[in-house]
Structure 1
């Protein structure tokens, strides 16, 4: 039984290759880096090694160089398995260190299996390795390109996530549900970098209307454009499952996905649900990625986060609007009845609300007490000092009541 060793620092990719090739009857070995892979090559002497190029501890280049340096394993067949943006650099390096083929991640299963079988059937001599100095220069170029790609990606990711935080703060301060949806549509289009954006929230009952917002479209959308009988099933799946979807539309025609023919051409779409922990309210759709042919995983993740945050804020804004409406009705009721009532906090004992009738009755009660006090005082003074005003305390400060 032929033996194949897979050397890759990504567990998912490593497991995929092991499973796929295992079904073909090969005996499979796996290693997480070049150092571990080199030990397995020395111990097990596999017929083929499929190695990633860029790995921690010992990368694919150093791994192959070490294999070629040991005469007993120097003829081991090796295939490089690398990301697409390193394909050309990896192919150049592969030729110089005796690697027989280069596969691009993610490779189609048929292509991967055909390549493995072709390499295993080849009984020719291994190509001669280039001089160590030339290999080092090629390896340094590959690593430099990798670091630059990572730095560019990291810088862009940092900018986008900083913008995401800023957008969330802006949306959190918006209390009006309609303005919140409008801001979500415009801000998500700018954050992801899409030519057009539109969102739709179906009517929740016969007494309510659907919500619809668009950005970047010359055509004014109508709620009837998004009828369930017209749209493709991808839109309905977002509402049913609450999960984002990427949709390819090769013809670019809006009618192909159930939208009116007057809509702009859309070759790639990204859909995300506007969802809270308790309810799926609708979806937001971005069309035509700027500077790219399609939306990627990061775009999908960013839009999903933004739409989910907006879904919670939309729910809170609707509750806030309902509370305002109930508060206004309560005040109108309280200010137009003659009964006295008040609200007291159970925790602090402080008064929260006192009806206007209480103030009116309190004023009336206070006036009555004041009048009774004056009458009582006048009667006591008359009884003690007589009816002569000159004998009262007001005319003689030295006397006390």
Structure 2
């Protein structure tokens, strides 16, 4: 059996042929329009094609012509199956297209099968024509059949229109997209009227231009060529202003003399306005009615009815869309407000700020979630009353807070600021500040209070740290002053003891006593150095260095110092950033921290020394006053000892504070560590808990300079001299010792107790002076100012300062100003003479290494 393609737009006709031919054993293919049929011909290559003439997209004639242009299927036989295209002209055109036969709708099954068999080359027996006597009956039957066919065709068209109208009504009832409504109207109007092309033009909002165009049966690429449904100005006036349909038959059209002449046949045209009772939205144009020269009055009425319904449906869809838009906008506004509330609540929670309102008549309180968070509770667990609020306040602060609130209300205050503590469920203590605005009625009766609460715990901690810092600074100033006076006394004790020791044999009893005096004085000097370290008034000799190297050089000495009960572990970074520091003072820091750790481990334990690179961020610096953000090298000393309570931890850096028994500590070790680290622009952090040990971490800022290697020191014996030295010292005993020491080794000494006395001596131009040796702290003009005055009159005169601390001579970093020479008190005769000789020159110098 053969493969047959049925190309038929009407499903009822297509199903009839498929059923009939398929029942006789043929393989059936189906297409609903010419384009789909052409695609199936290319892919499936059927033995026969039965095609309708009038089809959407591509009619039967064009379909056959395009099929003949495909070599593989050019010889495929074609039969037209049509209700209208069976006249002489239609048949002649069909023959020119290579159509084998035309089957008229409707036809008997036998006739259809005969035409199919004939086309396939399988001819059935031919029916013999009736004799001539029966010619009348045959012509009559043909005439009746022709009329019946026309009636059936009209009934079919009416059915088709009714079906289309029902479908349109269904679409109008459910479609909410205005543009989809118009597109469906355009397609349905073309289908109902059998128009080749349909165009629906939607005007812009102001009605002055085209807003959108909807098409059916029009190839977008050919739109400009054929210009379907573009009415003239007069026709537009009829459509849009008078709201009346416009119908025009096909015929020739010639433009006026001032326009280009067109010789093409103008196709039939039908135009109707798309409008509601309130507004004209555009127009619908139908062109080239298939099978007729013009559109009928029935077409006009049907399309006008459809267009009127379309206008109402379009307006309803627009109104629905507007309503949906407003609903959507309202929902978006509600959602945005909710998002704003969430963001506001989030911001308030992040800033630890809560909002609350109190009804002063009923005592009811309304809180935000962030307000309840200030008290460490969920909003749902808050009772919502003033009594529930007071229950959350620290018991010690509750009476005072009640009094403040009562006083403000009694005095008619409009603003109320209070601060109080609260204990969270986890036991932690927090500070809250409440700022409220109180509203009163005309009679002055308080109505409500609206305000915000802030978590000020961090501020309170910073204030406490600031007070502690001020306290430490004040103690440091006091310690520096005490150290200055002690250094003067120790200078006399050590100096004269040294001079006396040179006159007494060491094996004599008095020599041994003198040695004890010197030892005690040296221990006292060590204490004053600790005081100066804490007060940050000592002189630093800083160089770029590696903390890991410092720890390794001190480690062996620490093992001997701490004893076998203490195990020392190291966790040292090999790629540590260099820092600028005084290596001697760093060694002192390590010694003090290690000894302190040993004392915290009386039964032995582990001491861990660690170094690492670290970057302190701004948040850390803000939370730790005294710390600076940036790249640092960190040195930590950890022990497994007894640890410290928070109260002890707050005071460990205070001078003379100690938890050790009387006689076992001076209370200056950690104070000195604190001062040394601060003077080197560092920060020290302490982590400690009872029974869990302690960790001291020192952060020193990194430097771009490379670390220097340690070098050996040179020890110098005391030299003699012949120069004249002007000695300025207000302390009589210090001045006396210094003069004796210098004169004993050959120097000439002129002395003055004040800067004014020294200036009078310097004014005598006949006196040759080789060195000005002056204390810094003097009555009246101090030593620093004296040196400045001398520099103007005797710029070549060298100056050597003496002092117990160096505030006037050091930079902000604790370093001596460039070119300044300093002899630190307390000093010995040996130190004095060596320093003097270094400044004046190396005559009679004796070295030993």
Query: Which structure shows the bigger proportion of residues in strand conformation?
Result: 2
Structure number with bigger Rg: 2
Q: TM-score, normalised by structure 1?
A: 0.43
